[in-house]
Structure formats: structure tokens, C-alpha cells
Structure 1
Amino acid sequence: MTKLNQILAVEKGVKSDVQRKVTDAYHQIQKAPLLSGISRTYQPIDDEGEQLPPESTRVQVQTEEVLKGVGAGLTRLFDVTATKDWANCHAKASVKVDGTVLLEDVPVTYLLFLEKQLTDVYTLVSKLPTLDPAETWARDEHSDAWRTEPVKTTRTKKVPRNHVLAEATEKHPAQVQVYNEDVVVGYWTKVVFSGALPQRRVNELLARVQKLQDAVKYAREEANGAEIVDQKIGEKVFGYLFAGNG
């Protein structure tokens, strides 16, 4: 059985650790290069053409995985704080979302904690990177990343050509101008990868957070309106400290 003093002893450390993890996650999702990947393959126009190796960059950060990590860290913080508040409070109310009880008999102090944390979660979700709407995205079958449709572009090479300005005669050689002509020698096939989220997914997450925020605020108001028993602590303390006739 966990004791309250044990929870109080670890609470500060847990808060500091979770804050660091959330900050690290926030910085991760702001680094666009970590969320982006690319795959390019080259094919010469014929068998005699130059062979070029493929180019690729892997997606290093998956936004959904970052969210899972943040959720795991906050779960520990929420649990530690809940354990403390449940032991100390009498003013309680249930958090209801769409008529369904999500959290039952929550102490008002924990409701205040939830309000602050959900504000931070909303800020995090609102900053989540989204997929470029100018592209058409689909799930990549080989990873959890999103990918675009392959786009084929040409690779050209400058080939020198001769342009005869004047034909040769018995007295004068031919006048020839040398120029470069761009000739297609191969094709690049480009696929862009991303660890970002569709805008509709971010909108869905924001709506969920906001709905829970509203439910927590309503529950807090309900808990604050509950009747409580006044505690006469001061009289007992000073009755002991200043007892006697001197």
C-alpha cells in the first residue's frame, strides 16, 4: 500500500521529468528534417546511359510515436497527482463527456491540475506538424510514414552539336558554330515521405481536448459548490500551545 508521504516525496521529481519529456517532444516535432524522408531512383534512357545510385532519407521522427511518449509520461504524472489529491480532498465531482462519466468523483484540486495540464496538451496538439495539403498522401505499406505518389522527372545532358553557317567552297572552309543541346538521358522517380499528420487528424485531437477541457471546468464548478464540513484546527493548535495560566 502506497503512503501519502511517499507520493509527496516523488511528486516533484515526476513533474520535473515529465516537463522535460514534453519539452523534448515539442522540440522534436518542430524539426522538419526529422519528419521528412525521400526516395529517388534513377533510370537511364537506354542501356548505354550513365548509371546513378538511388538516393533516400529515412523519416526519423513519427508524430504519433511522439504523442505516445508524451502520453506515457503524463500518465505517470496524472497518476501520482491523483493519488495525492484523492487522499486529501472532500470536494469531488465526476467528469462527464457526452453524458458518459469519464472520471468518477474527482477531487477539486485534481480538477484544477487537469485544467492546467489540458491547456498544455492543447498547445502541444495545436503545434503538431501537418501534411502539405498541396500533395496527395497515402500510408506507406512498408512503414508508418505517409508518402506521396511517385513523380517522374527527366534528367538531361548537354550534348555538343554543330551548326553549319556556310558550306565549304574551293576557297573557304565551312563555317561551323558549335552549340550545346539538352538531351534527355534518363528519368528520376521521386517519392516524398513524412511523419506529420493529416490536418483532419489534428482537428479531431483538438476537438477531443477542448471537449474534455469543458467537461473538467464544469466538474470543477460542480465540486466547488458541494457542501463541506468546516474544520476547527486553529483552536486546537493554539489551545495546546498557549494552555495554562503562566
Structure 2
Amino acid sequence: MTKLNQILAVEKGVKSDVQRKVTDAYHQIQKAPLLSGISRTYQPIDDEGEQLPPESTRVQVQADEVLKGVGAALTRLFDVTATKDWANCEARADVMIDGAVLLADVPVTYLLFLEKQLTDVYTLVSKLPTLDPAETWSRDEATDTWRTDPVKTTRTKKVPRNHVLAEATDKHPAQVQVYNEDIVVGYWTKVNFSGALPQRRVNELLARVQKLQDAVKYAREEANGTEVVDRKVGERVFAYLFA
């Protein structure tokens, strides 16, 4: 018997062929000269008059025949699509992860939806911010974020000092040079916090998404192996439409 994946394989070709034939038919019926014919004969007034040959143009396109051709082409498309859509209602498979059923009896149309959504999820996870590997991070339960070890640094203040170059004498004042000295006046203790994720966690999430993507693809292939019943609906549709 025919399987769903075989119908899917031919559907695209059938659609292209039908589209071409319908387009050709549309162009044909737009050309009035092809739909028109003429037959003309000449008879002189008397036997001695000039004899002229008859003239005729045949009708090259008949609207009824165009409709029949379009109906025949669309019948094939209607049947293939009906077979696929009816089969999609029955094609199902389990999504398995490590030998266990994650999702049971999933319709093939939902499996297609899952594939697309998981692609978007993978893109999102791959863009997640990660912690700076140059720092040492630990979980801070109070803030529910990641934090670094405290780093202590000094705070300094410039204090002017006098440097005596020459002592004062009874004839000259002292020669003094003013300079600034950095004096420690306090200490900063800095702790960095982050809402990003460790790289290993991002890698783990990516692996899980990819594993589910593979499982969904396997399930879709299994569902597409469902045997189908050929549906013949096109003939009835066009028997009514073009009666």
C-alpha cells in the first residue's frame, strides 16, 4: 500500500504541474482569436464574374475542452491532497527520549509544529548570557543570583606634605617643596553579582534541546510511514462544478 511519505514526495511535483496547466489554460481563454472561427464563401452576381476561393479560420480553443483539461489536472491535485490530509489525521507516533515515552501518540501535524518551535528554542538557548570565566562564581541564596568572591581594595586620599630643601637662616627663609602623598583612608570590598548562567548549564540545555529535536524527527519519520488510503474526491467535485 501507499505510505504517507510517498504521498508527500509526489505532492510538490503534482502542485507544480497543476499550477502550470491552470496558468496555461487561463492564458488560452484570454486570447479571443483562438476562440473564434470564420467561414466565408464568395459568389459572383453572374457566371462571368470573378471566382474567389472560400476563406475559413478554425476555432483553435474551445472553452469546454479547457475546462475538462483543468478539471482533470485539478482532480489529481485534489486526490493527492485529500489522501495526505486524511492520512495526517491518522498518522501518529511516540516521541521517545532514552527509551522512555515523553509524548505518546502524537499527530504528525503536531510533530511538524514541534520541530519548528524547537528550532526557535535552540536559537534562544544558544544566545543565553554566560558568566565571565575569568571570575570565580558561587550561588548566592539571599539574592538568588551568582556572586564572585569579595575583593578588597584600598581607598586613598592625597595629603599635601612639606619637604624642606634648606633650613631657614638669619638671612634666608627656609626652602620648602610641597608634594602630595597618597594616604590610605579606607577600604572597598567589591562583590559582583550576575543573573547569567554558567557555560556548562547552557551546554547542558542545548544538548537536551537537540536530543528532543532528534527524537521528534525520528517520530515524524515513523508517522510518515503510515499506510494511507487513496482518496478519490476530485472527480466528484468537478463532476458537480462543471456539469
Give the TM-score of the pair, scaled to structure 2.
0.62
Equivalent pair of 1:95/1:102 in contact (CA under 8 Å): yes
Equivalent pair of 1:39/1:190 in contact (CA under 8 Å): no
Equivalent pair of 1:92/1:105 in contact (CA under 8 Å): yes
Task: Please report how far the alpha carbon of residue 54 of structure 1 lies from its aligned counterpart in structure 2 after TM superposition.
Answer: 110
Distance 1:51 1:156 in 2: 125
**206 and 142 in structure 1: CA distance in 2 versus 1, 3 angstrom threshold:** same
Task: Please report how far the alpha carbon of residue 189 of structure 1 lies from its aligned counterpart in structure 2 after TM superposition.
Answer: 1.1
Moved over 4 A (4+): 1-88
**3 and 157 in structure 1: CA distance in 2 versus 1, 3 angstrom threshold:** farther
Identity %: 90
C-alpha distance after superposition, 1:199-225 (max 9, x if no partner): 111111000000001111111111111
Distance 1:127 1:232 in 2: 49
Equivalent pair of 1:38/1:193 in contact (CA under 8 Å): no
Task: Please report how far the alpha carbon of residue 63 of structure 1 lies from its aligned counterpart in structure 2 after TM superposition.
Answer: 65
Q: State the match for 2:139 in structure 1.
A: 139
C-alpha distance after superposition, 1:9-39 (max 9, x if no partner): 9999999999999999999999999999999
Distance 2:132 2:31 in 1: 15
Comparing 9-18 with 85-94, greater Cα deviation is found at 9-18
Task: Please report how far the alpha carbon of residue 242 of structure 1 lies from its aligned counterpart in structure 2 after TM superposition.
Answer: 4.0
Query: How many residues were matched structurally?
Result: 243
Task: Please report how far the alpha carbon of residue 70 of structure 1 lies from its aligned counterpart in structure 2 after TM superposition.
Answer: 48
**159 and 98 in structure 1: CA distance in 2 versus 1, 3 angstrom threshold:** same
**184 and 119 in structure 1: CA distance in 2 versus 1, 3 angstrom threshold:** same
Q: State the match for 2:192 in structure 1.
A: 192
Comparing 8-17 with 111-120, greater Cα deviation is found at 8-17
Equivalent pair of 2:114/2:216 in contact (CA under 8 Å): yes
**49 and 105 in structure 1: CA distance in 2 versus 1, 3 angstrom threshold:** farther
Distance 1:173 1:182 in 2: 28
Gaps of 5+ in 2: none
Gaps of 5+ in 1: none
**147 and 135 in structure 1: CA distance in 2 versus 1, 3 angstrom threshold:** same
**53 and 236 in structure 1: CA distance in 2 versus 1, 3 angstrom threshold:** closer
**77 and 153 in structure 1: CA distance in 2 versus 1, 3 angstrom threshold:** farther
List aligned pairs for 1:152-191, cutoff 5 A. 152-191=152-191
Task: Please report how far the alpha carbon of residue 140 of structure 1 lies from its aligned counterpart in structure 2 after TM superposition.
Answer: 1.3
C-alpha distance after superposition, 1:111-169 (max 9, x if no partner): 11111111110000000001111111111121211111111111000000001111112
Distance 2:179 2:56 in 1: 35
Give the TM-score of the pair, scaled to structure 1.
0.62
Distance 2:223 2:97 in 1: 16
Task: Please report how far the alpha carbon of residue 198 of structure 1 lies from its aligned counterpart in structure 2 after TM superposition.
Answer: 0.8
**142 and 21 in structure 1: CA distance in 2 versus 1, 3 angstrom threshold:** farther
Q: CA RMSD, aligned part only? A: 34.3
Distance 2:197 2:156 in 1: 36
Task: Please report how far the alpha carbon of residue 95 of structure 1 lies from its aligned counterpart in structure 2 after TM superposition.
Answer: 0.9
C-alpha distance after superposition, 1:54-98 (max 9, x if no partner): 999999999999999999999999999999999962111111111
